């Protein structure tokens, strides 16, 4: 593609002690595009999302937004550049209610005080748009089911109208119907012009929705595939390293 990618990685490496989670990763994500990053457990998927979201500083390499190198010192910096992530563990505060979690770190303020009415109204609108069923937005997140919590986490990401949405293992705890609903949601994100990056250790979930599939293996890029053309066997071979 000739367009400038919204976000790119160039030669990004990250180690945890002796363990090399990411080694010289190059990656581009464009607007109106869904990129799936697949790999076995421990391939470096969560670290990749960590670096892109500002939660994890790379040891080497660069993150580029619109072709210019940026320094993502923390998640707030990433979000200011339009990059928002739903983490695998969702990163919700269980003691806060749904509205409080949705707006955490970006609360609406009116006359110096929190504007609960505006936030609650927006919360219902967002959750309604995701067709998410939550008994009450004033319920602590601790009292919600796993799927409900995931809806809250995704709604939170959409709140700031980010250009890049990172979804780390979003389908891990979902049932079949919920996966279908989720994939529809991802398509909607692409239609709206978001650049979407999804990680998964399961191939079948994402091939239907992804434009491109990047395979990670032991921290390195081990192949990049056009989602329409790649065969299951090719992908599996790249993921496991076993020659066909």
Going by the DSSP 8-state scheme, the letter that residue 133 receives in this structure is -
Q: Does residue 128 touch another protein according to CB under 8 A? A: yes
Q: Does residue 66 touch another protein according to CB under 8 A? A: no
Helix, strand, coil tally for the chain in percent (to 5): 35, 30, 40
Return d(Cα 170, Cα 136) in angstroms, integer: 23
Q: Does residue 91 touch another protein according to CB under 8 A? A: yes
Q: Does residue 203 touch another protein according to CB under 8 A? A: no
How many C-beta neighbours within 10 Å does residue 130 have? 18
Nearer to another protein, 3 or 125 (CB): 125
Among 55, 147, 179, 203, the residue binding another protein under the rule CB under 8 A is 55
How many C-beta neighbours within 10 Å does residue 44 have? 26
Nearer to another protein, 105 or 175 (CB): 105
Segment contacting another protein by CB under 8 A, of 35-43, 63-71, 93-101, 226-234: 93-101
Nearer to another protein, 151 or 207 (CB): 151
Among 69, 117, 180, 208, the residue binding another protein under the rule CB under 8 A is 117
Q: Does residue 193 touch another protein according to CB under 8 A? A: no
Residues facing residue 9 across a β-bridge: 27, 63
Return d(Cα 210, Cα 243) in angstroms, integer: 24
Whether 71 and 52 have beta carbons less than 8 Å apart is answered as no
Residue 3 burial (C-beta neighbours within 10 Å; 0-12, 13-18, 19+): exposed
Among 19, 57, 68, 76, the residue binding another protein under the rule CB under 8 A is 76
Q: Does residue 232 touch another protein according to CB under 8 A? A: no
Whether 24 and 12 have beta carbons less than 8 Å apart is answered as yes
Q: Which residues bind another protein (CB under 8 A)?
A: 53, 55, 74-76, 79, 85, 87, 90-96, 100-101, 104-107, 109, 112-114, 116-118, 120-121, 124-125, 128-129, 133-137, 140, 142, 156
């Amino acid at each position: 593609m000739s367009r400038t990618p919204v976000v790119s990685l160039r030669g990004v490496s990250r180690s945890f002690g002796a363990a090399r989670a990411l080694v010289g990763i190059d990656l581009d994500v464009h607007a109106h595009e869904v990129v799936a990053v697949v790999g076995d457990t421990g391939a470096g998927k969560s670290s990749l999302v960590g670096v892109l979201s500002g939660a994890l500083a790379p040891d080497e390499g660069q993150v580029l937004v619109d072709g210019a190198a940026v320094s993502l010192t923390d998640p707030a910096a990433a979000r200011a550049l339009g990059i928002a992530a739903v983490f695998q563990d969702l990163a919700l505060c269980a003691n806060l209610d749904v509205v409080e979690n949705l707006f955490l770190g970006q609360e609406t303020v009116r006359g110096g005080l929190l504007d609960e009415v505006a936030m609650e109204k927006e919360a219902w609108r967002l959750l309604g748009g995701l067709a998410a069923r939550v008994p009450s937005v004033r319920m602590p997140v601790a009292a919600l089911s796993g799927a409900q919590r995931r809806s809250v986490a995704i709604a939170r990401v959409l709140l700031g109208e980010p250009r890049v949405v990172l979804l780390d293992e979003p389908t891990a705890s979902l049932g079949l119907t919920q996966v279908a609903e989720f994939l529809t949601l991802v398509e909607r994100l692409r239609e709206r012009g978001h650049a979407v990056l999804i990680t998964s250790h399961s191939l079948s979930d994402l091939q239907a929705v992804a434009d491109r599939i990047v395979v990670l293996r032991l921290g390195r890029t081990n192949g990049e595939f056009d989602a329409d053309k790649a065969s299951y066997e090719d992908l599996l071979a790249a993921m496991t390293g076993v020659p066909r």
